[in-house]
Amino acid sequence: MNQEKIGKFICYLRKEYKMTQQELAEKLNVTDRAISNWENGKNIPDLSLFKPICDIFNISINELLSGEKLQENEYQEKLEENIINTVIFEKNKRKVFKKIILSALGVITFIILIIFGSLFIIDNKRMGDDKPVVFSTWGNKNYWPMYEYKKQDMEKSIKRYFLTKMDKTYTDHNNETFNLVNFVVVHTFLIDIKSDNEIIVYLWAIYGSRLDKNYDDEIINPNGEISSPYKIVLKKTNDGYEILNVYAPNDKTKIDYVDSYLFIKNYFPKNILKKVANYDKTLLYQELYNLIENYVYQ
């Protein structure tokens, strides 16, 4: 089926009948742009328009598909040829339509994947920054809304753990013993919820002490501030959270940079490695100092 030849034939007939493209379009209930596309060979009329076109120009469908008026002796030959070409054309048309549909579905799927991937990356970063997620139905507990898993309650349990490990008294060089008030400040980087019995919290903690009385020679942080990254495993209980395991660089009072870096590299998830390694602890220290300095004496 020769689209260009059919288009030129329609153009020839229209001019022969002294009709404009707009007039022909109105008779066929199509746009003049459609007529122009037929005549330029860009496409051919829909099958449903074949008979109306033939009625307007007083030709047979066989002649329309041949793109010319036929003599009686060539009519049958052209008819068989046009039938075959029409079947082939319709098959090809369906294939093209199927390809268009599949391509459109592919584009839509790609866009959806891009959107979901972007939301996943955004949520991953927001979770690392301890902010609410944007899209909370990933099917992964790391990204569920944390209504049942309260960050504040987790941090309270963790602070309580550190407080129980700290010295309760301080003995100076005169062997005089003083009671200590202990303080803990934490910054949580990520909460990874595996199940009720395995909640992993990645954080940086700092803790220090002060005397519980206002002595003139008061000693703040007699043991020095302990600042370190931690990986802490908890489980959810009816009363809150229970500490199962605590991982830290080592047990030294002062943690050096190399210890911290190696610990972070070995124990922290890759998605927050850089953030934790470059973490500025200034605000953490300031919060601790504020707690210590503003302590109200008993």
Give 144-185 as a DSSP string: S--SSS-HHHHHHHHHHHHHHHS-SEEE-TT--EEEEEEEEE
Instruction: Considering only residues 146 and 186, tell me which one the structure prediction assigns the higher pLDDT.
Output: 186
- Radius of gyration for the alpha carbons in the chain, expressed in angstroms and rounded: 40
275 HSE (CA, 13 A, CB side): 19
Q: Is the pLDDT of residue 14 over 50?
A: yes
The share of the chain scoring above pLDDT 70, in percent, equals 77
Question: Which secondary-structure segment (H or E) carries 22?
Answer: helix 21-28
Q: What is the pLDDT of residue 193?
A: 86
Q: What is the pLDDT of residue 146?
A: 46
Q: What is the pLDDT of residue 275?
A: 85
Q: What is the pLDDT of residue 159?
A: 94
Residue 3: pLDDT band with limits 50, 70, 90: confident
* Total number of residues shown for the chain: 298
Instruction: Considering only residues 105 and 73, tell me which one the structure prediction assigns the higher pLDDT.
Output: 105
- The type of residue at 158 is I
Structure tokens at 27: 């008779």
Lowest mean pLDDT across 9-13, 88-92, 154-158, 168-172: 88-92
- How much is the average pLDDT of 66-71? 80
Q: What is the pLDDT of residue 297?
A: 67
Question: Which secondary-structure segment (H or E) carries 62?
Answer: helix 61-66
210 HSE (CA, 13 A, CB side): 21
Q: What is the pLDDT of residue 50?
A: 86
98 three-class SS: helix
Structure tokens at 188: 């949580």
Report pLDDT digits (tens) over 212-243.
776 655 666 655 677 889 999 999 988 889 99
- The type of residue at 226 is I
Residue 211: pLDDT band with limits 50, 70, 90: confident
**What's the chain's average pLDDT?**
81
- How much is the average pLDDT of 34-54? 88
- How much is the average pLDDT of 80-99? 69
- How much is the average pLDDT of 41-55? 87
Q: What is the pLDDT of residue 139?
A: 46
- How much is the average pLDDT of 21-25? 92
Instruction: Considering only residues 246 and 196, tell me which one the structure prediction assigns the higher pLDDT.
Output: 246
Question: pTM to 2 decimals?
Answer: 0.51
Q: Highest-confidence range of 3-7, 78-82, 185-189, 286-290, by mean pLDDT?
A: 185-189
Residue of 220, 146, 223 lying closest to 188 (CA atoms): 146
Give the integer Cα–Cα distance in Å for 249 and 256. 9
Q: Highest-confidence range of 76-80, 120-124, 291-295, by mean pLDDT?
A: 291-295
Report pLDDT digits (tens) over 116-170.
777 777 766 666 555 556 665 544 444 444 445 688 889 999 999 999 988 888 8
Give the integer Cα–Cα distance in Å for 38 and 44. 5
Residue of 170, 162, 176 lying closest to 211 (CA atoms): 170
Residue 227: count other Cβ atoms within 10 Å of its Cβ. 18
Residue 240: count other Cβ atoms within 10 Å of its Cβ. 13
| End-to-end CA, the chain | 100
Residue of 148, 146, 153 lying closest to 130 (CA atoms): 146
139 three-class SS: coil
For residue 77, what are the contacts with CB-CB under 8 A and spacing of at least 6?
none
Q: Is the pLDDT of residue 187 over 90?
A: yes
- How much is the average pLDDT of 257-274? 86
Biggest CA–CA distance in the chain, Å, is 130
